[in-house]
Structure 1
Amino acid sequence: MINTNNNIQYKCEARFLNVKSRKHLSPIKHQKTNFFIADIFNNLTFQDDIASMEHPLFALKAGDTKDRLYQHGNITIQVKPTSIGLATIHDKDIWIYCISKLMQAIYEEKEISRTVHFTIYDYLITTNRHTSGSDYNRAKDALERLSGTRITTNIETAKTKEAHGFGLIDAWRVVEEKDGRMVRVSVTLPDWLYRSVTSKQVLTISPNYFRLRKPLDRRIYELARKHCGNQTEWKIGLKLLYKKTGSTEPIRNFRIGIKSLVATNELPDYNVSYDLNNDIVIFTNK
């Protein structure tokens, strides 16, 4: 007599093993080969704000120009793009870099404001980007999308809950050399985010977050970091995880992405497993 449950399990495992595994982490582009670069890496602990880790404020696809509405429980988020598209989760690196700079200043008991100043070279190096002219231009495009994307939400930060709209950044300014090369940048964060930072509603993230190639992987890491944290494990139904990521891809593609993460085990900080029978994704702390 054939054991039906074992047969089903075997077929599920066979399908899982047939998923093509692609590298999820890009190489480290800048080795710590001199004191200057080592200083950038060693002194800055990367921080992300809890609210945007929990809720999908950023698009996972470049060039997305559709209005988006996300509702979960009593939280409502409406996102409106610019003509060049919604700010993406790769654009969010500027947010993370600014938050990290502010938190560093707070730890060092320095005076801070909503405006963060930095050199574009430091930003590119620290977030594992190349430093060619096109990379400088892409950073400028990211600032445009962050400034133009409008969020209307009732998310609570620093125990303050209000329905209001804001840009992902309030303003930005770039100082350029005569050859047009960007040198220094000033970014003014929205009050909503600044409140979150000053009340320390942030979490430390892995530097390897910036090595994750796929937007979906970055979003999944954020959710794992927020919910698993330092706990042993976090379980979530695949459909709910799909909703929380804000993915606009068909759920079958999302499922393939999860299987690929399981196969490569390249998600920073967390192991990922997938219970096929119950459609549950399990994150365990590495």
Structure 2
Amino acid sequence: MSEPVRLDLMPLDQFGALGLHEKNAYLQDLADTFCARTGRETLELSKDALSRLRRFYSRRSLADLKVAPEPTNALEQALRDLGEAVKLNERRPDIVGALTAELPAPVLREAPEDDSQLSFFVPSIYDAPLKDDVNLMDVAPFSLGKAKRGGEIRYELKDCIITIDGSASAGLATVFDYDIFLHMVTSLAEEARRYRLNLDKGLRTDAPARVYRPNSSHILKFCRRSSGGKQYKDLESALDRLQGTRIKILNLTGGSRREVVAMPLIQTFKVISKTTTGNIDQVEIGIPDWVYNGVVREKGNPQILTLNPEYFLITQGIGRFIYRLARRAAGKTGIARYGLKELHKRSGSLQGLPQFAFQVRQFVSSTRVFPFPDYELEIVEGKREEILVMRERKPDAADVPLGSGAGAPELPLA
């Protein structure tokens, strides 16, 4: 867990003696320091932000000790110094919290220190592109938050109804649990690629296995996570949620886009071995038939898409949902647009539409300071509602306005 940000604050009396422009300049310097210590790019504070920060900074606390305006002896001076120290310590979290609220949060977390150093024992899966199942990328087949969530998520789309159910004990899988699913699909896709290459060479070879046995360290490395003890402990809980989360799809059109099936995100899992500290060392994961058939037995191209490895560094669940949707919807034309009502519908979020829309606006605003992987995001005014525009980032399209692209499909199908 990262250490809280500590700022060296100017004494309250000294701050109060500054003129308005001097206060603003000091607060801007404070914001620049905060950005440097939290991995943010520096940003000029607006007049409203500066006004709010001045109020936070000048607010008195209950720890304000009553002493004479000017100390007349050593005891009064000590009490004054003590009171000022207490006030600064109590006000510091307020200032940090205010700066956090006023400045955009990083879109991506920092990669682990050993991110670029592949272990000798790490299989070649780490050189394979990250893959996701294309048929699940236009909705969130998981909870967007980290907190436990029960019940179900129901998506009523034009061509089908999708229901996501979690187990009563473990709850729904989260967007961060889904990293393990991506590891499974990517591993299988790499095995299938080698299998087809051998077939093309006329070599006799076995089809990819329907189970695979990754080490927990391999999963964590693939997902670009640190290898701390908590990460290992969280793996088993994540596997419980993935195994207990089932997807039921009812096709409404009779087409071939999706079948009428009920399927788990992972078929089974079994802990094969543990470390001396009791953490998972190796696990066996059963690959569901619908995943296996889509990757290995699919005629023509497998039903998977490559994701940017920086997907794993996206800090917010809403950001990961938007990336997967953009990758799915903007794949053919390079641009896609979704109204915020439709976006809310496809996110499975428990938030009301106003709160969800606010969160999307905040996230899109952050991407202007911290670039989002592969796509430029913008919210534009539509005829009836605001529209999220997702455009693939291409050097030769830098001068094309984000709001353009009238020919882009609103709800593209596979």
> Match for residue 44 of structure 2?
none
> Match for residue 186 of structure 1?
284
Shift in alpha-carbon separation, 1:37–1:248, aligned structure 2, 3 A: farther
For residues 41-87 of structure 1, what are the alpha-carbon distances to aligned partners after superposition, in whole Å with 9 as ceiling and x for unaligned?
Answer: 75121000011112332111331112232211131122222222101
Letter matched to residue 134 of structure 2: I
Question: Pairwise mapping of residues 1-286 of structure 1 onto structure 2 (< 5 A)?
Answer: 20-29=103-112, 30-33=114-117, 36=120, 43-61=127-145, 62-82=147-167, 83-109=169-195, 111-154=207-250, 159=256, 161-177=258-274, 179=276, 180-198=278-296, 199=298, 200-229=302-331, 231-265=333-367, 266-276=371-381, 278=383, 279-286=386-393
| Pairwise CA distance, 1:273 | 0.6
The SS at the match of 1:184 is strand
The SS at the match of 1:54 is coil
Letter matched to residue 260 of structure 2: A
The SS at the match of 1:175 is strand
Higher radius of gyration, 1 or 2: 2
Supply the distance in 2 between the matched residues of 1:135 and 1:103 (Cα, whole angstroms): 25
Judging by fraction of residues, say which structure has more strand.
1
The SS at the match of 1:105 is helix
2:275 touches 2:281 (CA, 8 Å); kept in 1? no
Supply the distance in 1 between the matched residues of 2:119 and 2:182 (Cα, whole angstroms): 23
Structure 2-normalised TM-score?
0.60
For residues 201-254 of structure 1, what are the alpha-carbon distances to aligned partners after superposition, in whole Å with 9 as ceiling and x for unaligned?
Answer: 000000000001111111111000001125332122121122122222122222
Over 4 Å off, 4+ runs: 37-42, 158-161
The SS at the match of 2:149 is coil
1:59 touches 1:89 (CA, 8 Å); kept in 2? yes
> Match for residue 9 of structure 1?
none
Q: CA RMSD in A?
A: 2.6
- Point out which structure has higher relative CO (alpha carbons under 8 A, 6+ apart): 1
The SS at the match of 1:68 is strand
Letter matched to residue 166 of structure 2: P
Structure 1-normalised TM-score?
0.85
The SS at the match of 2:208 is coil
Supply the distance in 2 between the matched residues of 1:240 and 1:215 (Cα, whole angstroms): 17
| Pairwise CA distance, 1:128 | 1.4
Give the percent of matched residue pairs that are identical in Structure 1 and Structure 2: 26
2:125 touches 2:190 (CA, 8 Å); kept in 1? no
The SS at the match of 2:137 is helix
| Pairwise CA distance, 1:26 | 0.6
Instruction: Name structure 1 gaps, 5 residues minimum.
Output: 1-13
Supply the distance in 2 between the matched residues of 1:220 and 1:226 (Cα, whole angstroms): 10
